[in-house]
Amino acid sequence: MQAVQFTDHGGTEVIEYGEYPEPEPGDEEVLIDVKAGALNHLDVWTRRGLPGVDLDMPHVPGSDGAGVVERVGEDITRFAPGDRVALAAGVYCGECEYCRHGEHSMCVNYRIIGEHLPGVHGERAAIPAANLVPVPEGVDWETAAAAPLVFQTAWRMLTTRADVSPGEDVLVLGASGGVGHAAVQIADYAGATVYATGGSDEKCAYAEEIGAEHAINYEREDFAEEIRSVTGRRGVDVVVDHVGAETWTDSLASLAKGGRLVTCGATTGHAPETNINRIFWNQLSVLGSTMATAGEIDDALDLVWDGEFEVRIREQLPMSETARAHRMLENREGFGKVVVTPDSELDA
């Protein structure tokens, strides 16, 4: 079969699309005929190389994808050939103290398909049945592939970790990205007044289309100063920051007293300077969040499948052009998710 792969870490030049061994499902796995995959910044970091993560090479990336069940392992009763499914990429042990209490995303042995394990950016993939969710008829493959990782991540950040309430003010940074555009919609759904940042007027307009009350072009304006201005110097109750070092100081400065900063990533760097005085004097909370539990995934995706939340697709490319897809993420081009489709599906 054909699959996206790389044999060494580096720039986009290491990405290839070519022959890869056919996957064989184990007893608790399902063989998927992949109809579409989607990219996340996680794919970029994995390709560049993550400290402490040693991959078996060649590595197939991809933590988002959807397709049709082709074959099931001997122990599988939940799925059957012909079922429509999407990937929920977090793999947990089920045995540690966090798993026993239902907090699977805090599992001490947590791994992610596409990051630590072979991913789904190929024509077929063998996936543990526990990592698949049903996709209803009528949901297109692009939506099914692009929704799971970002919507589950944003859902846990806002509803579980930050516990956003109706009437609160929420600032979402990088609203044009996958997590960002999901977070805008989830905060709006929760009854919050949503503010957002984007790197162009077009991105800001998109953010307002999907639920932001006011969007700030961070290329022209200091977003912390603008937030102080539009909130009467109060600040917001919650900041969603997945950008990292580049925005950290201004994120803290945007918070009202008692505010919460929730983060799931650090695209621009993981070691920012922090004004500790601001944190204790204003009694701020800094909350980390990663992926979601099984129940949270179902809650978020039910709203995607029902059309409450929209998955914006910025570009759909053949998998043979995955290197270009990576560059789009690195260069912050467009609004929403980038989808890649097996070339054989496009030729069919």
Encode pLDDT of 279-328 as tens digits: 999 999 999 999 999 999 999 999 999 999 999 999 999 999 999 999 99
Phi, psi at 121, each rounded to 5°: -90, 70
Report the candidate in 85, 84, 34 with the shortest Cα–Cα distance to residue 62. Answer: 34
Q: What is the pLDDT of residue 140?
A: 97
The alpha carbons of the chain give a radius of gyration, in whole angstroms, of 20
Q: Is the pLDDT of residue 21 over 90?
A: yes
Report the candidate in 238, 227, 233 with the shortest Cα–Cα distance to residue 284. Answer: 238
> 161-190: string of b/e by CB count within 10 Å (b at 16+)?
bbebeeebbbbbbbbbbbbbbbbbbbbbbb
Mean pLDDT of the chain: 95
Q: What is the pLDDT of residue 271?
A: 84
Q: What is the pLDDT of residue 221?
A: 93
For Cα atoms 210, 299, 152, give the angle at the middle one, nearest 5 degrees: 65
Q: What is the pLDDT of residue 332?
A: 87
Q: Which CATH number is correct for 151-288, 3.30.420.10, 3.40.50.720, 3.20.20.140, 3.90.1170.50?
A: 3.40.50.720
Tell me how far apart the alpha carbons of residues 198 and 209 are, in angstroms, rounded to a whole number: 13
Tens-digit pLDDT profile for residues 262-282: 999 887 778 888 889 999 999
Mean pLDDT, to the nearest integer, of 202-229? 95
pTM: 0.95
Kindly state the DSSP code that residue 275 receives in the 8-state scheme: -
Q: What is the pLDDT of residue 35?
A: 98
Mean pLDDT, to the nearest integer, of 27-42? 97
Q: Quickly state the pLDDT bin for 346 (edges 50, 70, 90).
A: confident
Q: What is the pLDDT of residue 348?
A: 67
Q: Is the pLDDT of residue 167 over 70?
A: yes
Does the bond joining 58 to the residue before it have cis omega, within 30 degrees of 0? yes
Tell me how far apart the alpha carbons of residues 81 and 30 are, in angstroms, rounded to a whole number: 9
The residue extents of the domains of the chain are 2-147+311-347, 151-288
Tens-digit pLDDT profile for residues 94-108: 899 999 998 888 999
Is 151-288 the same fold as 2-147+311-347?
no
Q: What is the pLDDT of residue 58?
A: 96
Asked whether 301 and 147 are in contact (CB, 8 A), the reply is: yes
Q: Is the pLDDT of residue 230 over 80?
A: yes
Asked whether 174 and 197 are in contact (CB, 8 A), the reply is: yes
Tens-digit pLDDT profile for residues 41-91: 999 999 999 888 889 999 999 999 999 999 999 999 999 999 999 999 999
Q: Considering all CA atoms of the chain, what is the largest pairwise distance in Å, rounded to the nearest integer?
A: 62
Please tell me the CATH code under which domain 2-147+311-347 is placed.
3.90.180.10
Strands 90-91 and 111-112: antiparallel
Q: Tokens standing for 300?
A: 């978020």
Q: Is the pLDDT of residue 252 over 90?
A: yes
Q: How far is CA 145 from the centre of its chain?
A: 11
